[in-house]
């Protein structure tokens, strides 16, 4: 019997440092897309992509948020890390 090996998911993880080089508007769009995608698929791979995007957004040099918004982002990051495990 021939068994087809399983393939890893097609999502490509980007390091937070590389994500921080993207334009801020693109990171926000990727975050919205990733959250919507997770709602449909609910896989750890998609949650990991959301984590990478959030990390890139938080460490982006143009991300000038007040303390409350940064706190929200950090809490979201903790939640998405939990989902990615």
pLDDT digits (tens, 9 = 90+) for 17-47: 677 678 999 999 999 999 999 999 999 999 9
Alpha carbon dihedral 42, 48, 53, 56, in 10-degree steps, equals 160
Query: Cβ neighbours of residue 8 under 8 Å, at least 6 residues apart?
Result: none
Q: Which residues of 43-78 are buried (b: 16+ CB within 10 A; e: fewer)?
A: eeebbbbbbbbbbbbbebeebeeeeeeeeebeebbe
**pLDDT given for residue 21 in this prediction:** 79
Q: How confident is the model at residue 8 (pLDDT cuts 50, 70, 90)?
A: very low
pLDDT digits (tens, 9 = 90+) for 46-81: 999 999 999 999 999 899 989 999 999 999 999 999
């Amino acid at each position: 019997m021939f068994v087809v090996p399983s393939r890893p998911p097609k999502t490509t993880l980007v390091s937070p440092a590389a994500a921080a080089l993207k334009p801020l508007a693109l990171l926000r769009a990727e975050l919205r897309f990733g959250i919507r995608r997770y709602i449909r698929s609910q896989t750890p791979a998609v949650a990991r992509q959301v984590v990478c995007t959030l990390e890139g957004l938080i460490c982006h040099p143009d991300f000038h948020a007040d303390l409350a918004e940064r706190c929200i982002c950090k809490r979201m990051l903790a939640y998405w890390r939990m989902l990615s495990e």
